[in-house]
A and B are shown apart, each in its own frame.
Chain A
Amino acid sequence: MFHLKKISLNQLVCLVTLTQVGVHVLTIPYDESRHSGHDSWMSILIGGVFAQLAIILIYQLGKRYPDQSLPQYIVLILGKPLGILVNALFAAFFAESTLMIVVSYADVMNRWVLFETPWIVLVGLSVFIVAFVAASSLRSIATLTQSFMGMFLICVVIICISGIGKGDWRHFFPIGTHGFGAVLKDTLPAFWAYAGYELLYYSFPFVACRKKSHILLAMSVANGLTTLFYFIISVIVMYNFSENQLKVISEPMVFILRKFRWPVVQSLDIVFMTIWLSVTTITAFVYLFLSARYLAFVGRKENRRHVLLVWVIASMVFGIGSWFADKQTLFSFIDFHHIMSILFTAVLPVFLLLVSFVRGKVMNE
């Protein structure tokens, strides 16, 4: 019997791009323009560069153990008890990411599309689909993501068509008056928007390619696509709204999408948010899948019942998510999550890389 376990480079690019692009598309560049104002596009580009650095670090780490994924070789780097602890922390982090995405998008839907539907139903439905998809194999997830690339491209086309029209290029000028410090300060929120390349920790050995350096190329292409997409959005938003107006509107994309006017359809913000549900679901189920895979390695042997683990984590996510109907809790949770994501996506690969270098040197001597 054939069981294809490897994913192609094309699928890796689609997976990473669609995992990185998430709920943030509606709020860019509100968060990134708090300090840098109309220079927020620079913050976004620099955020992309930082994400690229993190990708290179993770790639180097993966290259040292080309046939095993992180949950398997972490015990080689840090020793068994610490390794299992890190696996469990990773599983918790990914589960928490899933929770955050599900809850953020349920909140967006509650405010713009489905006003009366009770919170539990929204969260429950989202968690159900996410768990249903995450319970398949990596290859199925990759094929599904590839198929949804088409939806993503439709959304990009919708954004571009709605964005052009009445606007003013003078909102961008004078360029650079906010100063480099302000731009750097706003790079931090931009960096959160690029989270999604942690996938490489796990999937490094599962990519079918002739040379391992092609993986780095694929990841860079994916990151480049995401950067380009965010850049286009921020340019469109700044073209339409000036800096002062942006202070009032926290979700500028929605208003821009409402500008769309055709004889047959108008105000595509609802259609966009519906199609975007599929893109955020992709982000959420990739995280849930990773969480279940990391949880499988906590313990002496690898736990093979992937489906069971996925549903267990999903029910916990649903249980906690039902408490987030209150927006205040949501905001403090989002802040907490941002700190965690910097820790796991930027700090941790540096740390692990250093430790593995040291260990490698010790073993050679």
Chain B
Amino acid sequence: MNVERLRAKLESILQSPVRLEWKTVPEWNALGGAKRPGESGRAPAAVEADGTLYIRLGQSGGRVRVLCADSKALSESERKLLEMVVETAGEAEQKSAFQRDEAGQFIRDVRHWIEEQAQTGSYGEHDPPEAIAAYPALYAPKVPMLLYGEHASGGGKQDYAELKRLLASFFDTDVLLIPLLDKEWLILAPESLLSEADGEDNGGESYEEALDSLCQGLQTMLSSEWVGECHVSAYYPIVPARSLPATVMRMRDAIRIGRLQRYGRYIHLPWRMYLDQLLHLVPTSEKRNFVAQVFKRADPFLDNEMMSTLETFFELDCNVSETAKRLFIHRNTLLYRLDKFKQETGLDVRSFNQAVLVRIALQLYKVTKRT
């Protein structure tokens, strides 16, 4: 139960101020919250004092949390309804506490397992530890996805619950959600999702294509319905109990390198990032040297327009017509820009070998400019 949300809703419905307060147990008792001597049954859940109605929400560490409303602004029936709503919410909270404890233990175990494997650097397939072997859910094939919420607040309980609800609604099924590092979440979704995306003609789409469109959809949904832009990676379906840590590491690397080297992109699939991963291993000084050698003194010439032109050109496999279409420019304008680039650098990106050089240098240029 989110008490702040409950308070805001009640305030909106009642059109009267509703506050949340903490009282010490003696203060609460002094207000009349204690069970009276000789009285049977439970202590009162609501008391009225000095024109304010106090309703007990719960107790923690010797303090009582109360919801306060102006009793004069409430009719008798509104008051009863208010008490009933708060009591029901409290009961639901107690009931879910047990389930939360169980889920919490599962999350702790999986997280511990992954981080332990990450520290040892042992990414092969191993028998899972005893704690993990106890979870049958990890023996069914799952689609692993890793999420990095750039603007997420850092994986608090509220974030977790909100994201879990959102994903359950999005996938229309229960998914396993495990918060890992700061702002990083692991999603394990049923494998059947991939065939659902494939539609009636069930065929023709590879795992890579199906995972790509699933990630695109998820990223779009999270951008507009959660905390804004987030980075998403995914991997082929796995049996988590066998290879989850290794898979998480692959996806984590893809997002880490993708965030550094693929600015403005949010889907980072490991099988599309072999070159990025290789270039990431090159020391910064070597990167700078390579860029300087390839571009010579054309550095200032690489303005936003030229960068986006070249990037789009490479993204579309050096196809002039498609690039011009994507950039909304005339084909001749594109050719003029490519010629201008050739004059400045001596490199003709319409030749395969020189295009490879420019493609690599451009990627390194962006990284070295930002570091």
Partners in one complex: no
A: residues with CB less than 8 A from B are: none
